[in-house]
Amino acid sequence: MNKWLDGSGDERDIVISSRIRLARNIEGMKLPQHIEESEGKKVVDMVSNAILKNSNIPEDEFTLYKLEDMSNLDKNVLVEKHLISPDLLKKPQISSFLLKNDEKATIMMNEEDHVRIQVLLSGLDLEKGWNICNNIDDIIEESVDYAYDSKFGYITSCPTNVGTGLRASVMVHLPCLVLTKNVNRILQAVNQLGLAVRGIYGEGTGSLGNIFQISNQITLGESEEEIISKLKGIVIQIINKEKESRKILLSTKKIELEDKIYRSLGILQNARILNSKETMNFLSDICMGIGMEILKQIDINTIYNLIIDTQPANIQNIYGKELSTTERDVKRAELIREKLNN
């Protein structure tokens, strides 16, 4: 079970998650790309103390993890769960993170910037995510001086983050826009409106299982609230287009659609070997079936959790040992049978 995937938030049949991320750097210190190990550890001490020694935060609300003390498997499990970024793994000797006990907030230290605050929530819930993230940011800023320019805003390693330092994103499942071959046209229009479209694990990753991440690209010249409002408005339009496509397919190709969904369900309930890619495609069909009320006996949150739990590192973590590719494929099929046949 993934704690942040708690079944809350709006539009759950299409929106898997909402994420808010703030990038910050500390005044007078070299950026992480050029930092010495001793200075990098000083960043970790400053930021972690701002949270762990704050009297307004319960003692056990956040836990500090140092990457150099973690196994590769444990680190990759957290990347697959979307709790830390792949970029955080690049400098394990100086990189650490604070994880909230409900796993909805992570404070990464010495990733691309000194501080990356991330809030991850189930469903469409950008405003709540922003409020949580902003509150954590304010707490850190009480004892840490951020690098800030009165003209340009918060100073960041990448120029595209200068300004608010805010990156808001929504992970959406769009199977019917893909089936009706409308997805490319719509996502191109989204790009033209100043938003970015990426795969399930962010920049440089492809779309698996008809899952896409929609995020803002501009952080300068707009307030945080304006960025979030614009993103939410466009995401709602995309959601409505997906819903329209679902209605069209139900009225014109219902039997073919049911056949596709039930075939995928049959394979998942009975297969003995499943690789990652085919699993994502079959799980996408099940999500579609649940969203269209063709499958009523399965909760969509079960499928969203399986999307994460069947990734390579998570499979090994669940079964408590390192596995070969073939062993993973066998255990993946076993886990899915267990979840879908109960």
116 annotated as belonging to a binding site for a ligand: yes
20 annotated as belonging to a binding site for a ligand: yes
Residue 23: predicted pLDDT? 96
Residue (of 116, 113, 82, 112) closest to 98 by Cα position: 116
Dihedral, 54, 56, 59, 63 alpha carbons, nearest 10:
-60
| Cα 296 to Cα 18: distance, rounded to the nearest angstrom | 25
255 annotated as belonging to a binding site for a ligand: no
168 annotated as belonging to a binding site for a ligand: yes
Whole-angstrom Cα Rg for the chain: 21
Sheet strands (E) in the chain: 15-24, 62-66, 96-100, 105-109, 115-122, 148-149, 153-154, 166-173, 195-198, 211-216
82 annotated as belonging to a binding site for a ligand: yes
Residue (of 204, 200, 129) closest to 166 by Cα position: 129
171 annotated as belonging to a binding site for a ligand: yes
| Cα 246 to Cα 175: distance, rounded to the nearest angstrom | 9
Residue (of 201, 153, 146, 156) closest to 19 by Cα position: 201
Residue 112: predicted pLDDT? 95
201 annotated as belonging to a binding site for a ligand: yes
77 annotated as belonging to a binding site for a ligand: no
Residues 6+ apart with CB under 8 A from 144: 26, 46, 47, 50, 115
Would you write out the chain's pLDDT as a tens digit for each of its 342 residues? 799 999 899 999 999 999 999 999 999 999 988 899 999 999 999 999 999 999 989 989 999 999 999 999 999 999 999 999 999 999 999 999 999 999 999 999 999 999 999 999 999 999 999 999 999 999 999 999 999 998 889 999 888 888 999 999 999 999 999 999 999 999 899 989 889 998 765 555 557 899 999 999 888 888 999 999 999 999 999 999 999 999 999 999 999 999 999 999 999 999 999 999 999 999 999 999 999 999 999 999 999 999 999 999 999 999 999 999 999 999 999 999 999 997
Residue 159: predicted pLDDT? 83
> Taking the complete model, does pTM exceed 0.95, yes or no?
no
What CATH number should be reported for the domain whose range is 17-163? 3.30.590.10
274: left (phi over 0), alpha (psi -120 to 50) or beta: beta
150 annotated as belonging to a binding site for a ligand: no
Residue 202: predicted pLDDT? 53
What residues does each domain of the chain span? 17-163, 242-341
Residue type at 248 in one-letter notation = I
| Cα 266 to Cα 22: distance, rounded to the nearest angstrom | 43
| Cα 50 to Cα 46: distance, rounded to the nearest angstrom | 6
19 annotated as belonging to a binding site for a ligand: yes
Summary count for the chain: helices (H), strands (E): 11, 10
165 annotated as belonging to a binding site for a ligand: no
167 annotated as belonging to a binding site for a ligand: yes
Which stretch of DSSP H or E encloses residue 270? helix 254-270
200 annotated as belonging to a binding site for a ligand: yes
